[in-house]
Structure 1
């Protein structure tokens, strides 16, 4: 039986694994992908300080560190089920069954699909798929593409595609409907985009974003937003145009764009065709929580964290004995924060396993998560701190409800 089992070999899982192993624990990491690193593998962007964040190199460093301390990593091994019997967690895979007193779920996140007419054509993919094709497999998704959905993730991936020599013709909004309401309203999208404007090479965008703070200024900015869009990294960013259709006979040949009002409604007669050979859909990310649900964790819907998130505390503990969470399963954030959370989770697990004198280290690790969050170049949700505070309040409510009454 292993001292700890970690499901997910992304930045949170590998960081936690190395931390546990450094404290003398026997660690098994299980992941369904062919390489360790998770979503970190596809990342390549320039930080505000001018340094480049290369996800492949960071993944290699984390993996080497884990191996250095004797971590056993099983790849291409999907987990089918987990269950708890007494204090023992059992993890079921197709090849074998594993047991441990301590189980960490670092399962990451998945992309939300946004339905667009024509999205079943060959050449339509998620932005994450284009990122992996380009940055991991070194295969161009096409020569000229359109990204549907303007958010922090799509903006960064657009710049990565351009670095790889792929032309991104434009970033545009999806057509307004009940499923795309938040992503199709120009004002909402602008608020999100302002949080990555500081990364743009354009001085106009960097400096202008600082002045668009009030609702009135945001509305004015949307009202007078140029029809041709502003450019980030030389890529037109359209907040007053939406993709109403992807067209093509046997594969993607282009998209049909239409101008929209500030409320997202299509302006009749403004449709135009834009030729391209691939389309990326950016619907955002949500936490992958299926295994936590199977285990019986209580959940809360916290939009600022990306959706339903298992109840947990700052030590990465859940309400279930011996079950921990770290990374995007706790809320959608960047890889650097996932790494910091993995360290905190690893120290918590080691302390629960019986390793002494770790409280000071753990407190520093928890503080490091907040510091990393404060320094993050962008947030997937600008109200992420609000979401984290909601989770803390929910945890306090749980503790108060489940604390034993004092003896009389």
Structure 2
């Protein structure tokens, strides 16, 4: 019963398990994938200081440290259900049922699909799938591709594909409909693109982004945005074009794009075809929080964090006794933030198990999360700090209401 169980072998789960083990407690990690590391495995980019962040190397470092500490890691083990019985968390898998008093959910995030005509053709994939194929398995997704969806994720992965000598014809918008409303609106997309301008080697893009300080300048930028796009890493970023169809006979052969208005409406008669043998769809990420929902944890929808997140505090504690969360399940951010959150969650767990002996370390760990967030190279959601403030407010309101109900 004293064994801590962590679900998720990504950066948050591994760092939390390492922290718990370093404090003298036994840990078991469960993960459905065949490799430890989670989304960290596919990451490869150059930081502002000129150093390269290689997710495979970072993952191996965390994994090796966990193994050296005697942490048991069971890969290829999906969790189908969790519940609280007789004061213990019960974790169900196909092979075995596990019990623990302290359970951490570090399940990460999943990609948001964007429905586009032709998206069921072989050769159409999520942009994350292309990243894993290229960076993890060293297999090119194709020779020439089109990325649909202009956001932080697609921008970062386009750069990685370029490094792997994969030809990316363009990054463009999806045709706007009820599902792709924000992803297909040039103004909304402009706001997200500005937050990755520092990643571009183009001095023009970097300089232009500095001018986009207000809505008027942004409208001017959209109005005069080149129809052929602005290049980043020699890849055209097209904010005034949208994919209206993916075509091919049994497999992807190309996409049909059209010019769109400032509001995202297709301009008739502007259609043209772009040849490609693969297409990546990028709708962003959302917290993968189904297991927290199954456990009965309350949720709040916070757009700045990527979607519905389980209610928790800055110590990574949920309102359910013995249940903790860390990483992208708490809001979509980068791997370095996830690692800091994992350390905090690990300290909160060992603090509970040791009778409150690590309060000082927890406070320092929380400060480390803030510092890491403030200095993050990639921000998936620019208003993440506002989202965290909303979450803290919901936490306080929930607990206040719970006190009222107890005394009524």
- 1:404 Cα deviation (Å)? 6.5
Task: Output the CA distance in 2 between the equivalents of 1:265 and 1:17.
Answer: 49
Q: Give the 5 Å matches for 1:118-133.
A: 118-133=118-133
Rounded to whole Å, the distance in 2 between the matches of 1:197 and 1:19 is 35
Does residue 167 in structure 1 map to residue 161 in structure 2? no
The gaps in structure 1 that reach 5 residues or longer are none
The answer as to 2:288 corresponding to 1:291 is no
Per the TM alignment, residue 8 of structure 1 is displaced from its structure 2 partner at its CA by: 0.2
1:320-359 correspondence runs (5 A): 320-354=320-354, 356-359=356-359
1:199 aligns with 2:205: no
Q: CA deviation at 1:164?
A: 0.3
Q: What is residue 151 of structure 1 aligned with on the other side?
A: 151
**1:405, distance to aligned residue in structure 2 (A):** 9.2
Measured in 1, the distance between the counterparts of 2:384 and 2:192 equals 12
Asked if residue 138 in structure 1 is aligned to residue 138 in structure 2, the reply is: yes
The RMSD of aligned alpha carbons is 1.2
The Cα of 1:10 is off from its aligned counterpart by: 0.3
The answer to whether the 8 Å contact 1:28/1:73 transfers is: yes
Q: Is the 8 A contact 1:149 1:174 kept in 2?
A: yes
* TM superposition score normalised by structure 2: 0.98
Question: Aligned partners of 1:404 and 1:256: how far apart in 2?
Answer: 59
Unaligned runs of 5+ in 2: none
Partner of 2:113: 113
Query: 2:103 aligns to what?
Result: 103
| Residue 11 (1) aligns with residue 26 (2) | no
Residue pair 1:30, 1:75 contacting (<8 A) in 2 also = yes
2-side partners of 1:292 and 1:249: how far apart?
Answer: 42
1:231 paired residue number: 231
How many corresponding residue pairs?
Answer: 407
Partner of 1:28: 28
- Cα distance in 1, alignment partners of residues 263 and 127 from structure 2: 25
Q: Is 1:386–2:349 an aligned residue pair? A: no
Cα offset for 1:93?
0.5
* Secondary structure, counterpart of 1:184 in structure 2: coil
**Separation in structure 2 between the aligned mates of residue 122 and residue 49 of structure 1, nearest angstrom:** 40
Q: Tell me the equivalent position of 1:264.
A: 264
Deviation string 1:205-251 (CA, Å, 9 cap, x unpaired) is 11221120101110100000011110011100000000000000110
Give 1:401 shift. 1.5
Give 1:312 deviation, angstroms.
Answer: 0.3
SS state at 1:116 partner: coil
Task: Give yes or no for contact 1:2–1:99 (8 Å, CA) kept in 2.
Answer: no
Q: Which moved more, 1:395-404 or 1:344-353?
A: 395-404
- Distance in 2, matches of 1:46 and 1:295, equals 39
Using the size of structure 1 for normalisation, the TM-score is 0.98
Contact 1:87 1:322 in 2 (8 A): no
**Whole-angstrom distance in 2 between the partners of 1:228 and 1:32:** 42
Secondary structure in 1 aligned to 2:182?
helix
Moved over 3 A (4+): 404-407
Distance, in Å, in 2 between the alignment partners of 1:365 and 1:43 is 24
Say which SS state the counterpart of residue 157 (structure 1) adopts. helix
- Deviation (angstroms), 1:86: 3.0
1:395 equivalent in structure 2: 395
1:59-87 residue CA offsets vs partner (Å, 9 max, x unmatched):
00111111121111000001011010132
What is the CA–CA distance in structure 1 between the aligned matches of 2:341 and 2:380, rounded to whole Å? 17
SS at match of 1:381: coil
CA distance in 2, matches of 1:346, 1:82: 20
